[in-house]
Amino acid sequence: MQIIPVIDLKDGCVVAAKYGQRELYQPIKSGLSTSHEPKTIIEALLKLHPFNLFYLADLDAITGNGSHQKEIKYILHRFPRSVFWIDQGYTHFERPYSNFKNAVPVIGSESLADSDLARLIQMNNSYVLSLDHAKDKKLGTATVFDDIRFWPKTIIIMNLNKVGSFEGPDFNMLKQFITHFPDKQFVAAGGIRNLADLLALKKLGIHQALVASALHSGDISKKELEHQE
Domains of the chain are 2-228 (3.20.20.70)
Look up the pTM and report it: 0.92
Task: Report the alpha-carbon distance of residue 4 to residue 85 in Å, rounded.
Answer: 10
pLDDT at residue 78 is higher than 70: yes
- Which tops the pLDDT comparison, 81 or 21? 81
- The pLDDT of residue 25 is 76
Helix (H, G, I), strand (E, B) or coil at 11: coil
- The pLDDT of residue 22 is 64
- Which tops the pLDDT comparison, 154 or 190? 154
CA quadruple 190, 195, 201, 205: dihedral positive or negative? positive
Q: Which phi and psi (to 5°) does residue 169 adopt? A: -65, 165
- 93 pLDDT band, cuts 50/70/90, is low
pLDDT at residue 137 is higher than 60: yes
**Burial status of residue 226 (CB atoms within 10 A of its CB: 0-12, 13-18, 19 or more):** exposed
Which residues on neighbouring strands pair with residue 159, listed in sequence order? 133
